[in-house]
Amino acid sequence: MVHRAAVKSSPWHILVGGFRAESLDVEALIKGVGEAASPHIAQLLDADRVAGWEHLYLSAANAVRAFQSGYNVARNLAVELLLYASCRDQIAEAIELVGLTPQTERIALVLLTEDEEEGLEAYERASRLLGEGDDEVLEVDEGKLRRLMELHSISEEELEAVGRPRARALTLLLVERGALIPALR
């Protein structure tokens, strides 16, 4: 299933989905997905390192806003998205944190487009290269929640202070940390 949403005050639309992969040739997959999605913008992330489709949607929306406002760090929108999703302001750190590795088994695809219908067609072309579609890889279970808390140094107290169910609280905290990236620049 593809999750779709528009970015307010922008021509951009964002499509997000999850996939199960078998073995990865990371460079070939990134190149192939980029070509299949062209002329739209595609980004692949390790689904085990993101807190759901909303985390990715809001990271992409923040990346779009960074470009619109001129406070982007990266030269392209796909890399800027990685910065927001990883809650880091260094590209190498972002890639290391949320990028694909040969060991990645669960993949998140984010496609950014200014034409939603053409974007859906590009999403379908790109998804054929990724393996079995499975949105469960984007969901946050207790094990994934614990790994993400450790990865981002989020304490139980921070999670409880949000006052939401734990998975939702984690997503909100990561989106907030990502949104604060411009303050670090």
Q: The CATH number of the domain where 12 resides is what? A: 3.30.2380.10
User: Which of 45, 42, 170 lies closest to 104 in space, CA to CA?
Assistant: 45
Q: 45: domain range?
A: 3-184
Whether this model's pTM surpasses 0.85: yes
Dist. CA 34–CA 19, nearest whole Å: 16
The rounded Cα 151 to chain-centroid distance in angstroms is: 16
Dist. CA 123–CA 111, nearest whole Å: 7
Q: Which two tokens stand for residue 11?
A: 């021509």
> Where does the pLDDT of residue 78 fall: very low under 50, low under 70, confident under 90, or very high at 90 and above?
very high
Model pLDDT for residues 7-27, shown as the tens digit of each residue = 999 999 999 999 998 778 999
pLDDT, mean of residues 65-71:
92
Of the candidate ranges 70-74, 115-119, 170-174, 180-184, the one whose mean pLDDT is the lowest: 180-184
Domain count of the fold of the chain: 1
Q: What percent of the chain has pLDDT over 90?
A: 89
Query: Cα separations (Å) of 115 from 9, 32, 52, 120, 140?
Result: 15, 21, 24, 9, 30
* Cβ atoms 60, 110 nearer than 8 A: yes
Residue 92 above 90 pLDDT?
yes
